[in-house]
Structure 1
Amino acid sequence: MKTLYPISLLISLLMTTSVFARPLPVENFKYKKDITLPSKLSESRIVKVLLDEEFYKHSFYGDLRLTLNGEIVPYKIQNAEEISKYTEKLKPELLFTKKDEMEIYVLELPKLPEGMSYSKLTVTSSYDYETSITLKLGDNPDSFAETKNVFLYKYGSQSSGEIDLGNTKYRYVRLEVENGSNLKFPSVTRSKENKHLYFEKTHQIPNPLLEENAVLFTFPNEIQTSFQNIKLSFEEKNWERMITVRGKINKKEWDTVFQGTINHDEKDGNYAEIPISSPLSSEFTIQIEDGENQTLHLKEVITVQPLEEILFFIDNVTKDTIYSLYYGNPYQWPANFDPYTYPSSDELREKTPIEGKLTKEVENAEFGYNLIYPPISGYITTGLFYIGIGTLLVFIFSILRSKRLVAKETV
């Protein structure tokens, strides 16, 4: 019976650990940034906050948490864009029309300048109608790459009036419509494309370390510029090489963040882009395996950090309302929120978000790992596991010893 007591105690401890599991406390995060909101808020309940370079230097990406006066707030994270409001309307050219069992229209749209796309096609008619349209888009009248169905109508002064082209670059449009619609297409709208936001850092090329059939470059990254992509430029225009990128994690251990074969052709431009598996803001190395080929001459290395923004709903804001961002915990699991608790794409299209701003980063005065969360919970679990194994071995040894004593007494 005495040997059963440690096992019962072990089971009790494990059950107690699961019972006391609760939402993540803010003291588990080393860094903090408050969010300031405009003094005058619009009717929109959606807030948008751009993440800055300070955040990327100390965040482990999955550890981002947002709080309202200490309580967790669900959020959505997405790539930040500079939203363009520039549009212009042009007249499309009607190349072909046919009115038989079906009405068929083929339009040619004007040429697109760089950085623009077609968004809407205006449709009118002298008569009331309702019709289903099969819309096809393509690079030329012989080949259409996209097809979708659209419903249009006109009931007196009420009219759908426009077809959403989905920001396409295709210049040829074919419409198949029910007979009797008698459609006209007075204009097409083209818009300037939204611009993705990012910051770049050009690194000085260090002296290479020549290895067997490979070259190794080490970049100190003294100012800890964070990045998620690397752009490489070589004097050679056409090449194919195995490339490995490693970064220092916690300033101690090296971790491979990319390894693969890159094929670059002159028509691809000046740079070959390498995606990084997780954001880095530390020293990193680039190893280029030449094999039996001539060594490539590295000319330029640029690290790229795409900017991101978080979006969330706000409640009634008072002077005591404080939204804060917590991060800086390498052991934290990624956030997983119900999609109905943060702004959807439809809501973002309908309402313009309020723009919040991050304050300067400060170290969290409450920082200190909690017993029931990583990493300490991991140490406790590991310790309990070995205690359990040890207790089980003692229990087995006691049984074997008892049987041995009984066997000797019966001899």
Structure 2
Amino acid sequence: MKHPAALANDIRQTPCGRHAVREALVFLSTLILLASVAGKAPADTGAQVELTGTVHSTGISGYPGSKFTLGDADSDSRGLVGVLSRERSDKPCFVSAGWEDVNKSSTNGAATKDLCGKKGPSSGTMGGTYANTGGNANRVFVTGAQVCMNKGDDRVKGIHLRGQRINDAGELVNFGPDAQDSRTNCHQDHWKRWVECPAGQIATAAIIHYSAGDTPRSWTGIGLQCRAIKSTGASTTLTTEASTLDSVTDTGPKALTELPGCNDTEALDIRAVAWNIADDWAAFSRKVERQSGTNLGACIERRFAGDGKVECAHEYKCKQNGTKCKLGLGGGLGSKIKLYQTFFDNIAGKPQPDRRACYAALMTHEFSHTCEHYAEGGPEARAEAAFDYWKERFAVSSSWTIDGGCGMND
């Protein structure tokens, strides 16, 4: 596979030009957004490994169709770290499989298949990833996959990944939690069988199955190709350096640049919410404006698209003997907001879609304060609309509410 910069240059020469570059780099941009890879972290030393042996092909989770290989099944150094998809006309027509070097996470990329047609995908992203989330290199790679289908069993609407970590001795060990995501029309009784690599192996490629017919064509199933991990007996320095992809993602979505105080899970949730809202801005703003009766304007869009800053302030801001506690703070004309411990307490232990619905609501509320709305009426109405937007798009629990769940506006 070519270096991403060379790949981008090749794509720019095609008739699709700028649009093609954006779509080819969707997964790469998403990895950067979700991974908090903003600079070089403290180095760690572990055993150097290589991928070796005969390629093992699993069965299919989902249903067979036209097959496309994403990744390099025979690679001796690249393992899969995630699978993402996007849609057009409710059809999951765009799939990306991200990879990282087993010894150096800052060497990474993605393979994509776009069967959405000339206009490309139009939805936000659904998927799971073990892309490095900061700190010492985590070296977690995909070892199993399971998909969820829609009611008609002809479109993938959810993905569940299992991963294992290469430890300092160069051995594969169990890792949790699983990476999982789904859309609203993933039917919980339509999760299909698991496909898994044999013990001691990780996935090096994904076999993506698509339905037949005209574009947009739907993703219908996934299989894995796997190779064994073998320690070379040498050591390697593991770092989470800034990605070399930064220079070629100018046509893609931007990350929130500063997340002080946020742990890996919080940063992952915040960046995923910001990216999905910014990427689906037309639908998001239309929903919020119609429901709240306010115009969002360019300021709020800029906050989600890149200039917003979110601080995870793990402290309580309460009064009235602790009975009235702030969830967040945003004000003035600055771009920074704070999320307080009470908010994190409210969403602790909840499923990812439920947590992210609350993030969408609270971030919309507080970013509104930083732009123009100082009274509570406008931001509260926008928060409710943002929560409803998220609940309509993703697999949020039907009983989860903005007041009883997130603890907002009560």
TM-score of the two chains, using structure 2 as the length reference: 0.19
* Larger CA Rg, structure 1 vs 2: 1
The structure with the greater share of residues assigned to strand is 1
The structure with the greater share of residues assigned to helix is 2
